[in-house]
């Protein structure tokens, strides 16, 4: 069921804890928000959907007081925000608006308690009151189901636990609206469940939650309604339980989008990689498979199944305990990273922000880092060759950037990921090991990355595609192998890759 954006069911009547009324915001050359009206009620979990550039961030900045609308009003807890500049953000904070951004801001070398109170440590007689801090920390953590001691260092926490600590921090001070920006984008499904359980607890306490995510399976579990944005406008608000995913995607993109793969396999008989009885305690135990030329091979499995360790072992990033790896039928013994590069292998890491890019360097510098020789003249880097090589890959992968020298950190997640993949195209790699290549990117960018991977396969390159989003594997893979209990136990072949069957295979025995 889809209902009007002007009077969605969950917004009907009075009692909204936060509201935008006819808000418009323009930046030079960009209409970021166009006459937006939005309301969220206490205890409601509202999903906010839209591709990059749809206006989600601007809407959130309006609610937090970080931006002042050119026209329209922003109301928090029944009172319109009236201040300007930094005072406006403080005004919104004082009225109970809190936000957890996608990029975590924790200090690993500090304890959980110290991180919860960063910048607002309570004092008694001029001395930090650690007893009061720990008492409040325990209460905030218990609300989210966190059982570890508040004195534990953040450095020792799992990614999901760190995300929950970020959420616990915003629960201090009796918030009325909590905004979560892609809280599970860096988490596998099992860890994401912990965050979603925490969101449910927050809503049960009467706190309104705005939940920004690209994962429809999560949204269906925790949100009653979803507001969809496109080109700065609020297009509609839909009842999540009754809305078809295809219809939601159509509203986000403004056109029909393909939801199923229609491709012919490019796999050939030649085996380019053979892994035999690979072991890496305690993650991998006797893993064996073959990868053929022109094949896209998916690896599915739960968090901790060893998917990342498998790719890193093949690439020579980490040593393994036993087994054999052969390239083109020739054993490589214990692979080393540089030797695998020379054999035509490329690897994109799971964490794009931390390991995949150098944010302050340009798109060009990030792009050509895999093969400086190709852009050198008599052993000296050539600015002209670098620019031309970068333009070639930008055009091929449709990377949206103002200039080849634009710092890559300013690009959207999808465009950053295209550059990360593009650097191996620049290097001429024939076997690509892709670890979560679509993590944290919007639905449009995902479709573009799928198309890029299929085109690479059509050219005879081979790809191993690791993903925690089971639903995307049938859209891009020729085969999917399920990694469970340290072994590859089940295999699915296109066009008979059923996501429900793959998920069932992943969780069997768990």
Each residue's pLDDT tens digit, 179-226:
998 888 667 666 788 888 889 999 999 999 999 987 777 888 899 999
The pLDDT assigned to 263 comes to 65
Confirm if 435 and 350 have CB atoms less than 8 A apart. yes
**CATH fourth-level superfamily of 271-507:** P-loop containing nucleotide triphosphate hydrolases (3.40.50.300)
Reduced 3-state DSSP string for 36-88: EEEEECCCCEEEEECCCCCCHHHHHHHHHCCCCCCEEEEEECCEECCCCHHHH
Give the predicted TM-score (pTM) of the model.
0.59
The partner residues of 491 in beta bridges, in order of sequence, read 481
Q: Tell me whether residue 436 is exposed, middle or buried, using C-beta atoms within 10 angstroms of its C-beta: 0 to 12, 13 to 18, 19 or more.
A: buried
Distance set, CA 378 to CA 373, 382, 385, 391 (Å): 9, 9, 12, 22
Q: How many residues does the chain have?
A: 510
The SS3 of residue 463 is strand
The SS3 of residue 168 is helix
Each residue's pLDDT tens digit, 261-316:
556 777 788 999 999 999 988 789 899 999 999 999 999 987 668 899 999 999 99
Say what the alpha-carbon torsion angle 326, 312, 451, 484 is, to the nearest 10 degrees: 90
Low-confidence ranges of the chain (pLDDT < 70): 1-14, 52, 185-186, 188-190, 255-263, 303-304, 507-510
The pLDDT assigned to 258 comes to 41
What is the Cα 384 distance to its own chain's centre?
34
b/e sequence 472-510, b meaning 16+ C-beta within 10 Å: bbbbbbbbbbbbbebbbebebebeebebeebbebbeeee
CA distance 389 to 55: 33
Q: Say if domain 2-96+174-253 classifies as CATH 3.40.50.300.
A: yes
Q: How far separated are the first and last CA of the chain, in Å rounded?
A: 35
The pLDDT assigned to 229 comes to 93
The partner residues of 33 in beta bridges, in order of sequence, read 25
DSSP state of 13: S
Record the tokens describing residue 414, joined without a space. Answer: 């999808």
CA distance 359 to 409: 4
Confirm if 279 and 322 have CB atoms less than 8 A apart. yes
* Within this chain, domains 2-96+174-253 and 271-507 share the same CATH topology: yes
The pLDDT assigned to 510 comes to 40
Phi and psi at residue 229, to the nearest 5°: -115, 150
Distance set, CA 261 to CA 103, 421, 454, 465, 473 (Å): 32, 21, 10, 15, 10
Distance set, CA 444 to CA 255, 257, 351, 365, 406 (Å): 11, 9, 20, 26, 22
CA distance 278 to 290: 12
Confirm if 20 and 67 have CB atoms less than 8 A apart. no
What is the DSSP annotation of 222-290?
Answer: H-SEEEEEETTEEEEEEEGGG--HHHHHHHHHSS----S--------S-EEEEEEEEEETTTEEEEEEE
Reduced 3-state DSSP string for 428-462: CCCEEEEECCCCCCCHHHHHHHHHHHHHHHHCCCE
Confirm if 11 and 237 have CB atoms less than 8 A apart. yes
All structural domains of the chain with their residue ranges: 2-96+174-253, 106-173, 271-507
């Amino acid at each position: 069921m889809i209902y009007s954006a002007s009077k969605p069911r969950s917004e009907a009547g009075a009692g909204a804890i936060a509201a935008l009324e006819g808000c418009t915001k323009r930046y030079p050359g960009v209409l970021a928000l166009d006459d937006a009206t939005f309301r969220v009620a206490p205890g409601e979990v509202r999903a906010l959907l839209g591709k990059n550039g749809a206006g989600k961030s601007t809407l959130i900045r309006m609610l937090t007081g970080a931006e002042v609308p050119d026209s329209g009003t922003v109301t928090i807890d029944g009172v319109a925000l009236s201040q300007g500049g930094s005072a406006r953000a403080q005004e919104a904070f004082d009225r109970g608006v809190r936000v957890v951004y996608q990029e975590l801001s924790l200090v690993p070398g500090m304890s959980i308690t110290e991180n919860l109170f960063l910048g607002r440590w309570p004092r008694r007689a001029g001395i930090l009151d650690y007893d009061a801090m720990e008492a409040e920390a325990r209460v905030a953590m218990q609300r989210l189901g966190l059982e570890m001691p508040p004195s534990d260092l953040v450095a020792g926490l799992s990614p999901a636990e760190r995300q929950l600590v970020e959420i616990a921090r915003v629960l201090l001070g009796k918030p009325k609206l909590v905004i979560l920006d892609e809280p599970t984008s860096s988490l596998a499904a099992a860890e994401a469940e912990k965050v979603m359980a925490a969101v449910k607890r927050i809503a049960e306490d009467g706190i309104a939650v705005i939940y920004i995510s690209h994962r429809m399976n999560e949204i269906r579990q925790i949100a009653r309604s979803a507001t969809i944005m496109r080109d700065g406008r609020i297009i509609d608000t839909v009842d999540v339980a009754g809305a078809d995913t295809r219809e939601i995607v159509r509203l986000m993109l403004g056109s029909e989008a393909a939801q199923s793969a229609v491709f012919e396999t490019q796999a050939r008989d030649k085996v380019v990689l053979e892994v035999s009885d690979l072991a890496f305690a305690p993650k991998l135990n006797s893993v064996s498979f073959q990868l053929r030329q022109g094949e896209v091979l998916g690896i599915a499995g739960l968090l901790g199944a060893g998917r990342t360790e498998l790719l890193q072992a093949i690439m020579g990033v980490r040593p393994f305990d036993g087994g054999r790896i052969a390239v083109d039928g020739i054993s490589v013994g214990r692979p080393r990273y540089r030797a695998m590069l020379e054999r035509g292998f490329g690897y994109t890491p799971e964490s794009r922000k931390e390991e995949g890019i150098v944010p302050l360097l340009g798109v060009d510098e990030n792009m050509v880092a895999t093969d400086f020789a190709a852009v050198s003249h008599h052993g000296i880097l050539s600015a002209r060759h670098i620019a031309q090589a970068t333009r070639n890959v930008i055009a091929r992968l449709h990377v949206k950037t103002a200039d080849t020298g634009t710092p890559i950190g300013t690009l959207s997640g999808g465009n950053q990921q295209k550059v990360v993949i593009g650097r191996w195209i620049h290097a001429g790699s024939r076997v690509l090991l892709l670890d979560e290549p679509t993590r944290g990117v919007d639905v449009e960018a995902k479709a573009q990355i799928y198309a890029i991977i299929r085109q690479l396969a059509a050219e005879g390159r081979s790809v191993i595609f690791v993903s925690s989003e089971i639903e995307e594997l049938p859209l891009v893979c020729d085969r999917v192998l399920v990694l469970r209990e340290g072994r590859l136990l089940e295999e699915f072949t296109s066009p008979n890759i059923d996501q429900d069957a793959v998920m069932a295979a992943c969780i069997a025995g768990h």
